[in-house]
Structure 1
Amino acid sequence: MPLKAALLSLSVAIIWGINMLTVKGAVGEIPPMMLTAIRFLAVAALLVPFTQVPRDKLPKLALLSFVFGTGHFGVLFCALSMLDAGPVAIIILLGVPFSSMLATYFFNDRLGWKRLLGMTLAFVGVTLMFWDPSMTDVKLPLLLVVFAALMWAVANVLIKKLGDINTFELNGWMGLMAAPQLLVLSFILEPGAIHAVINASWVAWANLSFTVIMSSIVAYGSWYYLLKTYDVNQVVPWSLLAPVISVTGSILVFGESISTFKIVGGLTVLAGVAVIMFRKPPQNQEQGMD
């Protein structure tokens, strides 16, 4: 891989690593469902005017907006409002083994013993993190992260079944469809959301702007360019840097605690995901996802 491509891959990983921290900062002021809705509205406003209407793909995009927009991002942001960013950044990597499992069912993709080993390591690592004494009172939020990872994997299947579609069309129109769903959920579950939005500080809006522009548009656009231009084996492993950056940043920025269970569990998850990626990296994953 040329130096410029390597630097671009590194930049994407850094953006996604920082993005987990900016979302964590934003949900501290704006309720998660409302925050996710605003994110998708902003992405749609920036992208939809410059794309064509993918009429033949709208039904599938509508389903994707529910699975990926609400089921993944909405649930993930809810979990981040209740959990430290570090564990979330690690546990969300379960989307990789979940994707392998679904690919076996939907696309007759043979797992092989190496990827089975990787999947086992990933799930063992998450189990170790669940055993951490500091996680005793947050089991439900942890399960929400696992669910969000599963929805990310399901979204990968739906994206593959969409066929050829421009990245900006995908993100823009999915965002336009996801935003109303999330707004309705926010009005039902977050009665003080409007007041929180009105009174949010400039820091919250700066965090949200980073998520919209740098993560949703710049990073994803660069990522798909890299996947189309270079061998997947050269590109995908860079994404493993994102959770490392997130965990490091969560300790430095938010002062999050670290423990033996978190360290061992996190390293085990990373090792398992690395085995899966290096064995046969998925072609249509949306890494970092957030």
Structure 2
Amino acid sequence: MPLKAVLMALSVAVIWGVNMLTVKGAVSEIPPLMLTAIRFGSVAILLLPFTKMPSGRFGRLAILSVIFGTGHFGVLFFALSMLDAGPVAIIVLLGVPFSSMLATYFFNDRLGWKRLSGMTLAFVGVMIMFWDPTMTDLQLPLLLVVFAAFMWAVANVMIKKLGNIDTFQLNGWMALMAAPQLLILSLFLEPAAVEAVFNASWVAWANTSFTVVMSSIVAYGFWYHLLKTQDVNVVVPWSLLAPVISVAGSFIVFNEPISTLKIIGGLTVLAGVGVIMLRKPPQQQEQGMD
């Protein structure tokens, strides 16, 4: 890739890696569902003035807002409020093998033995992380991360079926529909959410601003530009740097413990996902991670 493309790919990996840390910092002060509602509401405000209303796609975008907005991001942020950022950054990569599995059904994609091996490695790696003694009491939130990863994969299928749609148009209108449902869920399930919002520190708002502007808009803007202008098989592996940055950052910033089983499991997941990405047909490689 040209130097400009390399710098853009590296920027995306760094932004997504840091984003997991900023979300972790934000949910320590703002309840996760409320935070997700604020995220999508802010994205809608920033993007909708520059996008056209999508004709004939409102129904599918509404369904996508439930799957991607609430099912993926809402559940992921909720799990992150109970888990360390490092394991979450690794386990959410299961969205890649889940996407491959769904592609075989919806797009008649042939897996092949190499990608099947990669999928097996990824799932075995997550199981190893589940066996870590420090995770014994966290099985439910860990399973929520797995669920969020699956919702990401389902969203990928839906986005592909939407056809040619502008990235900002997709993100903006989906965010507009996701924000109210998350706000309603927050008001029902997080009774102290409004008070927490008003009492949140500037650090929490800085973290929230990062995930809105840098991750949701800048990083995805760079990512889609790279996918359109560069060889997909060269671009996609750069996204594997993001969880590495998240794990390293969680250790430095939050002093999160790193055990042998977490290291072995994490490396196994990364190896499996790497195999899948490198063997994945170009038409399936369209979405980046959070």
TM more than 0.5 = yes
The 1-side partners of 2:63 and 2:251 are apart by: 37
The answer to whether the Cα contact below 8 Å between 1:36 and 1:77 also exists between their aligned partners in 2 is yes
The 2-side partners of 1:121 and 1:112 are apart by: 14
> What's the % identity of the aligned pairs?
78
Partner of 1:165: 165
Is 1:180 paired with 2:144?
no
Q: Secondary structure at the match of 2:56?
A: helix
Q: Any idea what the Cα deviations from partners look like across 1:259-281, whole Å, max 9, x if unmatched?
A: 01100000000000000001115
Q: How much does 1:285 deviate? A: 3.9
The 2-side partners of 1:111 and 1:98 are apart by: 12
The 2-side partners of 1:30 and 1:221 are apart by: 27
Q: How much does 1:167 deviate? A: 0.3
Partner of 1:263: 263
| Larger displacement relative to structure 2 (208-217 or 54-63) | 54-63
Partner of 1:130: 130
Q: How much does 1:9 deviate? A: 0.3
Partner of 1:93: 93
Matches within 5 A, 1:1-290: 1-280=1-280, 283-289=284-290
The answer to whether the Cα contact below 8 Å between 1:23 and 1:211 also exists between their aligned partners in 2 is yes
Unpaired runs of 5+ in structure 1? none
Q: Any idea what the Cα deviations from partners look like across 1:217-241, whole Å, max 9, x if unmatched?
A: 0000110000000110110000000
Q: How much does 1:56 deviate? A: 1.1
The 2-side partners of 1:251 and 1:191 are apart by: 32
Unpaired runs of 5+ in structure 2? none
Using structure 1 for the length normalisation, give the TM-score. 0.99
The answer to whether the Cα contact below 8 Å between 2:36 and 2:74 also exists between their aligned partners in 1 is yes
Q: How much does 1:57 deviate? A: 1.1
The answer to whether the Cα contact below 8 Å between 2:227 and 2:286 also exists between their aligned partners in 1 is no
The 1-side partners of 2:287 and 2:91 are apart by: 16
The 1-side partners of 2:144 and 2:281 are apart by: 25
The 2-side partners of 1:176 and 1:55 are apart by: 15
The answer to whether the Cα contact below 8 Å between 2:94 and 2:123 also exists between their aligned partners in 1 is yes
The answer to whether the Cα contact below 8 Å between 1:232 and 1:281 also exists between their aligned partners in 2 is no
Q: Secondary structure at the match of 2:57?
A: helix
Q: Secondary structure at the match of 1:55?
A: coil
The answer to whether the Cα contact below 8 Å between 2:61 and 2:174 also exists between their aligned partners in 1 is yes
The 2-side partners of 1:187 and 1:209 are apart by: 22
The 2-side partners of 1:280 and 1:155 are apart by: 18
The answer to whether the Cα contact below 8 Å between 1:30 and 1:193 also exists between their aligned partners in 2 is yes
What is the alpha-carbon root mean square deviation over aligned residues?
Answer: 0.8
Code of the aligned partner of 1:111 = L
Q: How much does 1:55 deviate? A: 1.9
Code of the aligned partner of 1:200 = A
The answer to whether the Cα contact below 8 Å between 2:34 and 2:182 also exists between their aligned partners in 1 is yes
Q: Any idea what the Cα deviations from partners look like across 1:32-71, whole Å, max 9, x if unmatched?
A: 0000000000000000111100021111110100000000
The answer to whether the Cα contact below 8 Å between 2:232 and 2:285 also exists between their aligned partners in 1 is no
Which runs of 4 or more aligned residues in structure 1 lie more than 3 Å from their structure 2 counterparts after TM superposition?
281-285
